[in-house]
Chain A
Amino acid sequence: KNEVEQSPQNLTAQEGEFITINCSYSVGISALHWLQQHPGGGIVSLFMLSSGKKKHGRLIATINIQEKHSSLHITASHPRDSAVYICPGSNYKLTFGKGTLLTVNP
């Protein structure tokens, strides 16, 4: 069983839609990262959080460490948001899932 489960695995949306991506863990974590990987492979760190909620622009991330669950929300989605979103947990070394492939159509 994977330590990290992301849902959905694939998501297609129309520009402007509100998007939610979820992460659940089977092991305890102390913190969590939300990463964005573009088709070229480059990775951008969006958030690192250990509790509560963080907001940056149109992106909002929430986490409940006790329930081992986190969500990433994108408001007013845009085609440039199209990427793979990954939520590795941080227990000394990051454990990656397969990510969520998001496609936002104009």
Chain B
Amino acid sequence: GAVVSQHPSWVICKSGTSVKIECRSLDFQATTMFWYRQFPKQSLMLMATSNEGSKATYEQGVEKDKFLINHASLTLSTLTVTSAHPEDSSFYICSALENTEAFFGQGTRLTVV
């Protein structure tokens, strides 16, 4: 099946710094990718829809200036958490659609200290 690679799998950063997470579709082109966030014992929550070549669509309550999404190619979307704070510590995961089937990255566990 199709593969989506997410990097890094975990990262620890200092408060106030920025962190970039990459999501790559390895063997298919994804015009649309999705970024999710999951807090402990909570369900996955959609943060934004990333569209190749255009601006991302953010869900209500997600700050677009804080969570920068870039989808510059058909195989790569990036999520940058800017000026990270401890409350941004969470599990971030991306998915990409091939036709109607979703494929998920491995996820990134972000810890802000």
Interface residues, chain A, CB within 8 Å of chain B? 30-31, 33, 35, 41-45, 48, 50, 86, 88, 90, 93-99
Fill in one digit per residue for B27-53: 1 if any A CB lies within 8 Å of its CB, else 0: 000000010101000111110010000
Interface residues on B, range: 20 to 34
Shortest CB distance A23–B (Å): 13
Interface residues, chain B, CB within 8 Å of chain A? 1, 34, 36, 38, 42-46, 49, 91, 93, 95, 100-104, 106-107, 109
Q: Is the CB of A96 within 8 A of B45?
A: yes
Chain A residues positioned under 8 Å from B46 (CB to CB): 93-96
Chain B residues positioned under 8 Å from A95 (CB to CB): 46
Q: Is the CB of A90 within 8 A of B44?
A: no
Total inter-chain residue pairs, C-beta < 8 Å:
48
- Chain B contact residues, majority secondary structure: strand
Shortest CB distance A97–B (Å): 6
Partner of A41 from the list B1, B34, B91 (CB cut-off 8 Å) is B91
Partner of A42 from the list B36, B42, B95, B107 (CB cut-off 8 Å) is B107
Chain B CB within 10 A, most for which of A35, A48, A50, A95: A48
Q: Is the CB of B107 within 8 A of A43?
A: yes
Q: Is the CB of B102 within 8 A of A41?
A: no
Given A45-B101, A48-B102: A93 touches B34 (CB 8 Å cut-off): yes
Chain B residues positioned under 8 Å from A35 (CB to CB): 104
Shortest CB distance B62–A (Å): 13
Q: Is the CB of B49 within 8 A of A45?
A: no
Shortest CB distance A81–B (Å): 19
Known: A93-B34, A93-B49, A96-B43; 10 extra A-B contacts, CB below 8 A, are A41-B91, A45-B103, A45-B104, A48-B100, A48-B102, A93-B46, A94-B34, A94-B102, A96-B36, A96-B45
